[in-house]
Amino acid sequence: MNDEFLWSGLGLIPALAARVHGRAPAGVTGVSIDTRTLQPGDLYFAIKGDAKDGHDFAGAAFAAGAAAAVVDEARADALSAHGPLYIVDDTLASMENLGRAARARGEAKIIAVTGSVGKTGTKEALRAALGASGPTHASAASYNNHWGVPLTLARMPRASRFGVFEIGMNHSGEITPLTGMVRPHVAVVTTIAPVHLEHFASLDAIAEAKAEIFLGLEPGGAAIIHADIPQFDLLNARARASRAGRVLSFGEHAGADAQLISFEARETGSMVSAKVLGEAVTFYLGAPGRHLAVNGLAVLLAAVCAGADLHASARALGAFEAPAGRGQRTGLAAADGNFTLIDESYNANPASMRAALALLGEAAAGRRVAVLGDMLELGPDAARLHAELSEAIAENRVDTVFAAGPLMRGLYDALPPGVRGAWKEKSDGLEDVLAEALGAGDVVMVKGSNGSRMGPVVAALKRRFASPNGAQER
């Protein structure tokens, strides 16, 4: 097969179990399910989503340069004028088939990452660490569900030495088919935390659902779990009952296979010393926060289990940066001088909220300012889980809290009056009061669930306080 193509046009036919209408392309250079991001030369899968049906966008896909489209038999006739079609019974099932074919054809060592928080950060750190040892393919964004995982597999180049897959879930039973497709050599569970509590009775029930990832492990593969969490025993038992040949742990616990020895916060990252499988290693991690340093230990264990060099992997973590919305820092200019914005707006739950408040606590700041939006999907305990954050706010010496949303009202009212900045019903209501309040030397951390719309608050601050020479991403 010609290496310039991800898939040859003829090779796609058996992999998709398709019949071809029109002239099959020589090959495709990528795989897409979204015409807005489709690149010329991509194979377009028309997937039915909850709200929209990708078949309605097949014309747009060809207009954007799709080499061919995969469509359902039922829609094929109507689309036949647009361009070459691979016609199948069910486009999602055929994307899964293509994913399995990608998994079967190469030699890549495969790492799967799940956990209540930290999946994307850990996946991106693995991309950086493994990239030092060979070509590494990894999921885009948080593509971790029933379409994201097969899409990521289908995109894996044959020559990859490593493949890194984020796997997520909202309900028990969802990880089992995904890990069965990915068949990891190494499976990582970052941590267990109260996220998606709506669908689970307890943290143990969440751990059971995450432990499904071990069911897909290749015989003799490695399971990597967090040594410091109450669900360690449960995860350890499930891993040992799987086909894993090795079960390794990471954390601050003295018995951990990758143990944090020392952690030193720097402005935009941290210096980390650890003992990994008996070897001492010290490295700079290019994103701040103790929680990310601990995730970094899971990364190093996974890298070693996948055959990468420990020290090259550790060195490469220096170039890792916090992904957007997950701790990215920007220097901004107020009238009286510069201040720092920490953008944590991508998402929030009690665990990541505490980690972000700790990050703010570590900052050398004139004033520590937290701007917080509601944490969603927490079920009946939501009010309590919000109010309890007042402890972390005190522990981390946060000076002022600005809050938005009905759930954050409970936290706001639980704070000492001196710490209350302002509360608003909606996040955009905070923009003016923040513009008024922020000044030189402040460190401002903005966080909330995606649905609480704290991202636009970050964008507004960046707009209003852009320094004359442009905001500095740091």
Ligand X SMILES: Nc1ncnc2c1ncn2[C@@H]1O[C@H](COP(=O)(O)OP(=O)(O)OP(=O)(O)O)[C@@H](O)[C@H]1O
Which spans of this chain sit near ligand X (rule: CB under 6 A)? Answer: 115, 117-121, 142, 144, 168, 190-191, 291, 295, 326-327, 344, 346-347, 351-352, 355-356
Q: Shortest distance, CB of residue 140 to Mg ion, whole angstroms?
A: 11
Binds Mg ion by CB under 5 A, chosen from 8, 29, 142, 273: 142
Assign 115 to helix, strand or coil: coil
Point out which span in 90-98, 139-147, 284-292, 304-312 binds Mg ion (CB under 5 A).
139-147
Partner interacting with residue 8 (select from ligand X, Mg ion, none; CB below 5-8 Å by kind): none
N-to-C CA span, the chain:
43
* Residue 136 interacts with, from Mg ion, ligand X, none (CB under 5-8 Å by kind): none
Is the Cβ–Cβ distance between 114 and 168 less than 8 Å? Answer: yes
Pick what 291 binds: Mg ion, ligand X, none; C-beta below 5 to 8 Å, kind-dependent.
Answer: ligand X
Among 75, 119, 155, 326, binds Mg ion (CB under 5 A): 119
Name the minimum Å distance from CB 211 to ligand X.
Answer: 16
Residue 242 vs 295, nearer CB to ligand X? 295
If one asks whether residue 450 binds Mg ion (CB under 5 A), the answer comes out as no
**Paired tokens of 263:** 């952690």
Q: Which C-beta is closer to Mg ion: that of 129 or that of 415?
A: 129
CB nearer to Mg ion: pick between 21 and 155 = 155
The CB-of-119 to ligand X minimum distance in angstroms stands at 3
As a whole number of angstroms, the distance between CA 392 and CA 468 comes to: 35
| Chain residue whose CB lies nearest ligand X | 118
User: Please, which residue, 119 or 386, has the CB nearer to Mg ion?
Assistant: 119
- Alpha carbons within 13 angstroms on the beta-carbon side of residue 285 total 30
Of residues 191 and 231, the one with the C-beta less far from ligand X: 191
User: Whose CA is closest to 38, among 26, 28, 30?
Assistant: 30
Q: Quote the least distance from Cβ 362 to ligand X, whole Å.
A: 13
Minimal CA–CA distance to 294: which of 264, 256, 250, 253? 250
Tell me the C-alpha distance between 32 and 15, whole Å.
16
DSSP letter for each residue of 307-345 = T--HHHHHHHGGG--PPTTTTEEEEEEETTEEEEEEEET
Task: Mention every residue, 6+ apart, whose C-beta is less than 8 A from residue 438.
Answer: 334, 339, 369, 444, 461, 465
Q: Which is nearer to ligand X, 79 or 372 (CB)?
A: 372
Indicate the DSSP class of residue 135.
-
The footprint of Mg ion (CB under 5 A) covers: 119-120, 142
